[in-house]
Amino acid sequence: MLTLALDTATPDLSLALVTPQGTFSYCERLERLHAQRIALETEQLFSHAGLPFRASRLVVGVGPGSYTGVRVAASYALGLARAWNAEVLGVSTLMAMAAAHEGRVGVTLDARRGNVYAGLYEVKEGQVVSTLIPDGKHPLVDFQAQVEAAGGTLLPNARVTGKMLALLADQHGVRDWKLHYL
């Protein structure tokens, strides 16, 4: 099974193609150019893998993120899924950010005015084993205190990768997903 993972909820365009031969990834900080580059970079990912442009499963980061940002990956994934007759699963962008680290991991995205969109997760060997604080909007100082009280580490500059989205899909992928905006 080929899995294509896409996230545009942050300033990064993060893609991964998981194949039986390995994982092919792309991640670049594009700020607001996601829509201009997502199709080209996705096609190049398949080309680098030496595979035809088709996957049986798509995994999309559902945010939180900017209104336009989360819609770019979601719209593109839904269009591909329809053309390919593939399933689409949604995964929290914050959870994917945390999954690249170990222990009790708090991750944040700027929500402006001293607030963050944040979540706290327990991660063991690349798997999110529990959600200690679900994704939500918090005053930064309150979230910092909650992470500290839980014995966690706050990673305000964590980045989401398509590879982590794809790896989380089996355990945390949701079929009836909704986008979460900043």
Output the pTM of the full model: 0.93
> Which CATH code for domain 3-92+160-172?
3.30.420.40
Enter the tokens of residue 24.
Answer: 């092919």
| DSSP-based three-state secondary structure for 44 | helix
pLDDT in tens, 150-172: 999 999 989 999 999 999 999 99
- Look at residue 146 in the predicted model and tell me its pLDDT: 98
Q: Of 23, 32, 30, which Cα lies nearest the Cα of 4?
A: 23
Average pLDDT, the chain: 95
Judge whether residue 176 has pLDDT over 90.
no
Q: What is the mean pLDDT of residues 133-153?
A: 97
In percent, the amount of the chain with pLDDT more than 90 equals 87
- Look at residue 182 in the predicted model and tell me its pLDDT: 59
Half-sphere exposure of 87 (CA within 13 A, CB side): 14
Measured at the CA of 87, the angle between CA 94 and CA 127, to 5 degrees, comes to 35
Across the chain, the runs of DSSP E, i.e. the strands, are: 3-7, 12-19, 22-29, 57-61, 87-91, 103-112, 115-124, 127-139, 153-155
pLDDT-based confidence at residue 180 (cuts at 50, 70, 90): confident
pLDDT-based confidence at residue 48 (cuts at 50, 70, 90): very high
- Residue 182: partners with Cβ closer than 8 Å, 6 or more residues away: 63, 64, 65, 66, 67, 109, 111, 112, 117
Q: Of 96, 91, 101, which Cα lies nearest the Cα of 125?
A: 101
> Which CATH code for domain 93-155?
3.30.420.200
Domain boundaries in the chain? 3-92+160-172, 93-155
Helices (H), 1-66: 34-49
pLDDT in tens, 58-105: 999 999 988 888 999 999 999 999 999 999 999 999 999 999 999 999
**How far is Cα 58 from Cα 7, in angstroms, rounded to an integer?**
11
93-155 has the same fold as 3-92+160-172: yes
